[in-house]
Copies of this chain bind each other. A is one copy, B any other.
């Protein structure tokens, strides 16, 4: 169980303090799991107060036994009630913030109202600033992403031996998930935001790959109960149908997103060509993406290639298309930036992107590719390495 180096965590806190000062915030009170992992290396039922200047304070409700203060870039104290927070701050000479940042993109209203009573100053949203900071990964974080990627490469390599005609897609998902778990998949996938119900990914055979869902993704899937109408269904694997496997892998908190297509026996020529187009789009983005390029330009390039191949109406959905071709990823599945239509954000070295050109054919299935990359000075560095071609078994 490796823990982030203290110097690295201290650098993250220091950078965020610079942002706080630039934004006129006197401090930030952070609660969300992924944000606590980012700044403290771990999460607990806890509050992290980061003042614009001075030493941070990690106030733990449960479980303080699990935290080694020597590893944390903050003073570690127990917290019994929220109302104690001002006292804990003032005992350390920390002034009550006039302007306090909180994660208002995820903090529910009822809870927020308790903090409004505790902090008489103004409470503002600091979630965008945290997400921007987190979008650029350090060498240490990229090392962790490489671990998760290697784990998933190993899992995908085992899929061909798992495929059997007549097996239903849920059974294949169960085997794949068991292999991932044995290889150290941590189970929990973090998706930022309200109502982001998600489970590991989509394993969609044949027509299941053509079924859209509530989830903001080119793939959806039928699910097998109306209570969770997403992802794997119960279609039985048959020759000539794409088995679309889009899974999120996470060994150590850092997630990679990866998609491959498998098939029993053969795949019709037009689906193979569509898959090849997806791989070509990915490769063109890999070559075009570098610091300074805008996300919208990359989306436009992808759409233009899809259109050139006569596949515009199948690109990233069919009927309910999504308007992006990739997204940031790391501690959460939906990080910044998004390679979306019209997005003006510029790539920066160290950003990590899942690029996922896909084509959807209702009634027949989905093909396409997804890999996770790091933005480098000249082009993208690829983290997930399993070959891109359709695997015919």
Closest to A211 in B: B66
Q: Is the CB of B188 within 8 A of A197?
A: yes
Q: Does A386 count as interface, using CB distance less than 8 angstroms? A: no
From DSSP, what is the main secondary structure of chain A's interface residues? loop
Q: How far is the CA of A80 from the CA of B244 in the complex (A)?
A: 29
Q: List CB contacts (< 8 Å) of A45-96 with chain B.
A: 45-46, 62-63, 65-66
Q: A62 — which chain B residues lie within 8 A by C-beta?
A: 212-214, 216, 320
Q: List CB contacts (< 8 Å) of A181-213 with chain B.
A: 181-182, 184, 186-188, 190, 193-195, 197-200, 211-213
Q: How far is the CA of A207 from the CA of B41 in the complex (A)?
A: 23
Q: Is the CB of A187 within 8 A of B228?
A: yes
Q: Is the CB of B186 within 8 A of A32?
A: no
Q: Is the CB of A212 within 8 A of B66?
A: yes
Q: Of A107-115, A298-306, A370-378, which binds chain B?
A: A107-115
Pick the contact of A31 from B2, B195, B231 — CB < 8 Å?
B195
Q: Does A44 count as interface, using CB distance less than 8 angstroms? A: yes
Most buried by B among A46, A102, A199: A199
Q: Is the CB of A106 within 8 A of B104?
A: no
Q: A216 — which chain B residues lie within 8 A by C-beta?
A: 45, 62
Q: Is the CB of B197 within 8 A of A190?
A: yes
A44-B229, A112-B109, A182-B174 as given contacts; A220 in contact with B319, CB under 8 Å: no
Q: Does A334 count as interface, using CB distance less than 8 angstroms? A: no
Most buried by B among A104, A178, A199: A178
Q: List CB contacts (< 8 Å) of A313-367 with chain B.
A: 319-320, 331
Q: How far is the CA of A188 from the CA of B224 in the complex (A)?
A: 12
Most buried by B among A2, A108, A197, A216: A108
Q: Is the CB of A200 within 8 A of B187?
A: yes
Q: Is the CB of B226 within 8 A of A3?
A: yes
Pick the contact of A33 from B42, B190, B197 — CB < 8 Å?
B197
Q: Give the distance to chain B from A220, nearest Cβ to Cβ, in Å.
A: 7
Q: Does A153 count as interface, using CB distance less than 8 angstroms? A: no
Q: List CB contacts (< 8 Å) of A249-274 with chain B.
A: 251-254
Q: Give the distance to chain B from A28, nearest Cβ to Cβ, in Å.
A: 14
Pick the contact of A199 from B110, B187, B220 — CB < 8 Å?
B187
Q: A171 — which chain B residues lie within 8 A by C-beta?
A: 182
Closest to A173 in B: B181
Most buried by B among A46, A187, A199, A220: A187
Q: Number of A interface residues, CB 8 Å?
A: 74
Q: List CB contacts (< 8 Å) of A25-45 with chain B.
A: 31-33, 37, 41-45
Q: How far is the CA of A104 from the CA of B227 in the complex (A)?
A: 22
Q: How far is the CA of A320 from the CA of B177 in the complex (A)?
A: 33
A108-B105, A108-B106 as given contacts; A229 in contact with B174, CB under 8 Å: no
Q: A41 — which chain B residues lie within 8 A by C-beta?
A: 226-227
Q: Does A125 count as interface, using CB distance less than 8 angstroms? A: yes
Pick the contact of A43 from B65, B111, B214 — CB < 8 Å?
B214
Query: Which 9 A-B pairs rank lowest in CB-CB distance, beginning with the nearest?
Result: A227-B253, A174-B181, A178-B178, A187-B199, A42-B226, A104-B109, A45-B214, A63-B212, A44-B214
- In the complex, besides A41-B227, A178-B178, 14 extra interface pairs with C-beta distance below 8 angstroms are A1-B226, A37-B226, A37-B227, A41-B226, A45-B215, A62-B213, A63-B320, A65-B320, A102-B109, A105-B108, A170-B181, A174-B181, A186-B228, A188-B198
> 17 pairs across A/B with beta carbons < 8 Å?
A1-B224, A3-B226, A31-B195, A33-B195, A63-B212, A63-B213, A63-B320, A65-B212, A66-B212, A105-B108, A106-B194, A108-B109, A109-B109, A175-B178, A186-B199, A188-B228, A227-B252
